[in-house]
Amino acid sequence: MIVAMSRYDPSAFPPFAVTVDLVVLTVREHALCALLVKRGEAPFQGYWALPGGFVRPDEGLAEAASRELAEETGLRAHSTPGQATAGAHLEQLATYGHPQRDPRMRVVSVAYLVLAPDLPTPRPGGDASSARWAPVGELLGKTPSDGVPLAFDHGQILADGVERARSKIEYSSLATAFCPPEFTVGELRRVYEAVWGVVLDPRNFHRKVTGTPGFLLPSGGTTTRQGGRPAQLFTAGGATVLNPPMLRPES
Give the CATH number for residue 197. Answer: 1.10.10.10
**Residue 227 corresponds to which amino acid?**
G
Residues 6+ apart with CB under 8 A from 114: 22, 23, 24, 25, 69, 77, 88, 89, 90
pLDDT in tens, 190-246: 999 999 999 999 999 999 999 999 999 999 999 988 878 899 999 999 888 998 899
Same domain flag for 92 and 137: yes
* Inside any domain, residue 160: yes
* Inside any domain, residue 251: no
Instruction: Select from 169, 186, 209 the last residue of a domain.
Output: 169
Domain containing residue 185: 172-236
* Inside any domain, residue 4: no
Instruction: Select from 130, 150, 169 the last residue of a domain.
Output: 169
8: confidence class by pLDDT, cuts 50, 70, 90: confident
pLDDT of the residue at 70: 81
Same domain flag for 86 and 37: yes
Same domain flag for 54 and 144: yes
4: confidence class by pLDDT, cuts 50, 70, 90: low
Residue 128 clears pLDDT 80, i.e. is over it: no
Same domain flag for 208 and 184: yes
Same domain flag for 162 and 200: no
12: confidence class by pLDDT, cuts 50, 70, 90: confident
pLDDT in tens, 174-192: 999 999 999 999 999 999 9
Same domain flag for 116 and 52: yes
pLDDT in tens, 73-117: 766 665 443 343 444 788 999 999 999 999 999 999 999 999 988
Please give the C-alpha separations between residue 166 and each of 163, 170, 195, in angstroms, as whole numbers. Answer: 5, 7, 6
pLDDT in tens, 57-74: 999 999 999 888 888 776
* Total domains in the fold of the chain: 2
* Inside any domain, residue 102: yes
pLDDT of the residue at 2: 65
Instruction: Select from 121, 136, 169 the last residue of a domain.
Output: 169
Same domain flag for 103 and 178: no
Residue 142 clears pLDDT 80, i.e. is over it: no
Q: Are strands 216-223 and 128-135 parallel, antiparallel or unpaired?
A: unpaired
Same domain flag for 190 and 107: no
150: confidence class by pLDDT, cuts 50, 70, 90: very high
* Inside any domain, residue 242: no
Same domain flag for 31 and 91: yes
pLDDT of the residue at 84: 38
* Inside any domain, residue 241: no
Residues 6+ apart with CB under 8 A from 224: 230, 231
Domain at 140, CATH number: 3.90.79.10
pLDDT of the residue at 148: 80
